[in-house]
Each structure stands twice: as C-alpha cells, then as structure tokens.
Structure 1
Amino acid sequence: MNKEEDIRQAVEVMRRGGVILYPTDTIWGIGCDATNEEAVRRVYDIKKRDDSKALICLVDSDHRLQRYVSDVPNVAWDLIEYATRPLTIIFDKAKNLAPNLLAEDGSVGIRVTREEFSRQLCYRFQKAVVSTSANVSGEPSPACFDDISDEIKNAVDYIVQSRRKEKTKAVPSSIIKLGSDGEVAIIRK
C-alpha cells in the first residue's frame, strides 16, 4: 500500500470515530479525532489511563493551531519556529476539542508536526489528531513499531502500514507549558 492510500484509510477510520496506531514525528502513537469525545474515551480505555491525565494532539500548521487555542502567546510562534526537535506546548484556554482531552484547568498540549507522514495525516484530516504513546499507561513507550504490544495493536481500528520497518530509536517530544502571560515552564526536556 502506498503512503497516500495509507493516509486515506487512516483518515476514513478517524472520521468514523475510530482509533488508529500511527507513526509521528517522535514515537508511534495512538490517535483519533481530537474533537470526538467518544473516540478520546476509547484511547483512554486502550491505554488503561485515568482520563484526568490530559492527552496531547498534533496539528499540521500554525493556522490549525489557532483553531484550538483561544490566545496563542507571541513567544509560542518563536518557540515553534526555532525548535530543533519536536516540541509540545501546553496552552491555556483550549477550544473546539473534546472536553475529556483537556487538563482539569482547561489547558491542552499541542505539537505542530513537521514530519512528513503525520503532517500529511493531520492536513488531510483537517482537524487535530490525538497523539499519545502506543503503550498501556505505566509501561515503557515503544521505541519502534516492533516494541508495540499485541494488546495495543489488537485494540485499535487501523494500523498504519508506513514506517513499520524503521529501527531508529525515537524519543518523546520536549514539553513546555506556556502561561497566557508568556511565562514558560519546562515539563520534559
């Protein structure tokens, strides 16, 4: 299957409220429509994770980011532009997302992905896509596709074909929290 067909299949599954397993700009992730509360609930169930722990999502562009954050602090644009590796930013005042995706304070972690596959997936889906590590909560994050448990693989509705053979050990993104006043707090380096 070629990459375009693979993306088309994944997008169709998410449009129907399904959950996918897909490669991102960091590690393999479990994903779904970030605006669909029931799909997000399924992701929590698959991960056996308490829904009080917020999930992050990916978008394909700065423009799309503004659809989900009420007020993007100016410093965010510089951080996104100059980041040398994938950077997830936790923003205050999220909007237009499933309520169970958000932290208790209404914030959300969003990453503008530059990696070709996940960027195309988000672009073609035209919405934010949940991106959480493809593991049961508390277990190690998979470094490559082969490290993902059968339990996770059997729980999703579609497994992307692309990039399965890569053996490069991927690492999670850096995470920072941006206050609406521009204050920066490093959560994960």
Structure 2
Amino acid sequence: MNPDDPDPTLLNEAINILSDGGIIIYPTDTLYGLGANIYNKKAIRNIYNIKGRDKNKPMSVCVSSIEVISLIANIPSEYKNLIMNNLPGPFTFILSKNSSIPYYFMTNNGKIGIRVPKSEIARKLSHIFPITATSANLSGKEALRTPKEIANQLNVDVDLVIDVGPLGSNSPSTVVDLTTKEIKILRQGSGHLSHV
C-alpha cells in the first residue's frame, strides 16, 4: 500500500478483520505494529500469545486523533498543550485510563499508553475503535523493518499484513509519563519532545 495514498477498500477490509477479532500487521510512523481491536478479549489474548509477551505487561493503544484520547483517558489540563504540540507523532503518552477501557486490557496501575501516529494508515485503522499499538516482534527481540522479516521472526499467520515497504525508522516511539507532577520520559525513542 502507498502510505501517502492509502487504498480505502483495503483499509475497510482491514477494519472489518479487526472488528471480527482478527490480527493485522500495520505500519506506524516508527515501527510496524501488531493490531487488534482492544474491545475483543480473544484478539488481545492472541496478541500476547503471538509476541510471547508477559500477560502482566501492558500494551499501548492507537487512536485516530487527539480528540479521541479523552474518550479513553484523562488528560491533565496542564499537559493539553504538550499533547497538542507533539501529536500526531512518534510518542506514547502515559495517561490515567477511564472506564471505557475493558477490564481484560492489562494496564499498569490504571495507566494506559496512547499513540496518535503520523501514519495516516494507522490513524484510519483506529477511527472506529482503538487498536493495539505494540511492535510487531517477539517480546525481547529486535524490532524489524519489513513485513517479510517480521513474518519470519513471528512464525505465525496473521489475518492481514499492510506492507508499505521498509520503514525509515527502526526506533520505537518515545514514551512519556504524564500522570505525575513532572513529565517523565520513560523511554527515549525516535520522538523528541517539544514542550511548547
């Protein structure tokens, strides 16, 4: 798929697969991700199994726009401008989740990581419901740049792969905790925070 001109028919097919509990590999502005509908318990369990990820380790979610964030998490008023100035972009912001996040979607002390990538494909895939935003690799292994390499590493079938070729980055998003009085960068990735 052309990342600058995504095929709406293929995107709709991907959304239908996600809606039915399927798993996809999709591009973001940093790495390829494993996508599942966060409101499908079986799909979430499948993501953990595919990655070999610790069931107690939370995953982030991808949403379609800044406006949608407030439907699933609480944005502290002092950080609204920070979020507006850095999203869409290569950041995962840790916020306090609200009650719309299902009980089986593992979170860390009521916190959830939220992504709004620059990737138009990722945003369009998540415009009906949030999808998982976890890198498409085995847990603890290197994140790879092409779907072919990813498929070889995972060695499992997923329901759909959206291939835009090698991504320019093999660095993950920068993770920023906004649940404390001071901003905490938990992981420096490809994003460099603009405070203003």
TM-score (norm 2): 0.84
Structure 1 residue 158 and structure 2 residue 157: aligned? Answer: no
Query: Quick one: which of 133, 136, 156 aligns to 2:138?
Result: 136
1:60 to 54, 61, 64: 64
Residue pairs, 1:70-89, within 5 angstroms: 71-83=74-86, 85-89=89-93
Q: How many Å separate the matches in 2 of 1:79 and 1:153? A: 39
The residue aligned with 1:174 is: 174
Deviation at 1:151, TM superposition (A): 5.1
Contact 2:177/2:183 (8 A) holds in 1: yes
Moved more, 148-157 or 48-57: 148-157
Report the 3-state secondary structure (helix = DSSP H, G, I; strand = E; otherwise coil) of the residue aligned with 1:50: coil
More helix by share: 1
Query: Residues of 2 paired with 1:76 and 1:112: CA distance?
Result: 16
* Alignment check: 8 A CA contact 1:67 1:95 kept: no
Shift of 1:75: 3.4
Deviation at 1:166, TM superposition (A): 3.1
Per the alignment, residue 16 of structure 2 pairs with 12
Query: Against the structure 1 CA distance between its residues 90 and 102, is the aligned structure 2 distance closer, same or farther, given a 3 Å change threshold?
Result: farther
SS in 2 for 1:149: helix
Is 1:47 the equivalent of 2:57?
A: no
2:186 paired with 1:187? yes
Per-residue CA deviations over 1:62-87 (Å, capped at 9, x if unaligned) read 22111111x21123322222228411
How far 1:153 sits from its partner (Å)? 6.1
- How many residues align? The count is 183
Distance 2:14 2:155 in 1: 14
Q: Secondary structure at the match of 1:101?
A: coil
Aligned-pair Cα RMSD in Å: 2.1
CA–CA separation in structure 2 for the residues paired with 1:64 and 1:167: 26
Does the aligned pair in 1 maintain the 2:32–2:135 contact within 8 Å? yes
Q: Which residue of 1 aligns with 2:151?
A: 149
For the 8 Å contact 1:57–1:130, the answer to whether it is kept is yes
Q: Deviations over 1:26-79 (max 9, x none)?
A: 10010100122221111000001111100011111122111111x211233222
SS in 2 for 1:138: coil
CA–CA separation in structure 2 for the residues paired with 1:151 and 1:170? 15
Q: What is the TM-score normalised by the length of structure 1?
A: 0.86
